[in-house]
Amino acid sequence: DTEVTQTPKHLVMGMTNKKSLKCEQHMGHRAMYWYKQKAKKPPELMFVYSYEKLSINESVPSRFSPECPNSSLLNLHLHALQPEDSALYLCASKVGRGGNEQYFGPGTRLTVT
C-alpha cells in the first residue's frame, strides 16, 4: 500500500481565518513533506520532517506552521493567509534518509478569499 491521504480535498478560507490541513500515511515512512503547487508549475518544497523533527524550512512565511504529532501524521496550520497563497497543497512521504522515491497525496485545493 503506497497511499498518502490528505484532508480536506478543498478548502475556502478568508484572510482572517485559521484552518489546518491534515496528511496521514501508514507505510512506516519516516520522512514527510509539504509542497505548494501553482498552476502549470512543478511542486515547490515548503517543509521537510525527518523522524518527526523539522529538518528543512524553505523560508516559508510564518502564517504557515507545520506540525508532526507522530510518525504517521503531518499537519499544516494556516493563519492570516493572503490570496496569493491559493494553490494545491501536497503532502508526500518516503521511507527515510536517502534517495528513495516520494509518494504524494491527492492534495488540498486551497482558495483564500
Partner 1 sequence: EDQVTQSPEALRLQEGESSSLNCSYTVSGLRGLFWYRQDPGKGPEFLFTLYSAGEEKEKERLKATLTKKESFLHITAPKPEDSATYLCAVPQGGSEKLVFGKGTKLTVNP
59: contact with partner 1 by CB under 8 A: no
Q: Which amino acid does the sequence have at 17?
A: N
Q: Is the peptide bond before 106 cis (omega within 30 degrees of 0)?
A: no
In the complex, what is the shortest distance from the CB of residue 63 to partner 1, in angstroms, rounded to a whole number?
22
In the complex, what is the shortest distance from the CB of residue 58 to partner 1, in angstroms, rounded to a whole number?
8
105: contact with partner 1 by CB under 8 A: yes
What is the H or E stretch that residue 108 is in? Answer: strand 108-112
What does residue 37 show for φ and ψ, rounded to 5 degrees?
Answer: -130, 125
Binding segment for partner 1 (CB under 8 A), chosen from 11-19, 62-70, 71-79, 96-104, is 96-104
Binding segment for partner 1 (CB under 8 A), chosen from 13-21, 65-73, 78-86, 101-109, is 101-109
**Euclidean distance between CA atoms 89 and 68, whole angstroms:** 16
First to last CA, the chain: 37
Find the binder of partner 1 among 21, 24, 25, 31 (CB under 8 A): 31
The answer to whether the beta carbons of residues 64 and 78 sit under 8 Å apart is: yes
- Contact residues: partner 1, CB under 8 A: 2, 4, 6, 31, 41-43, 45, 48, 50, 55-56, 88, 90, 92, 97-107, 109
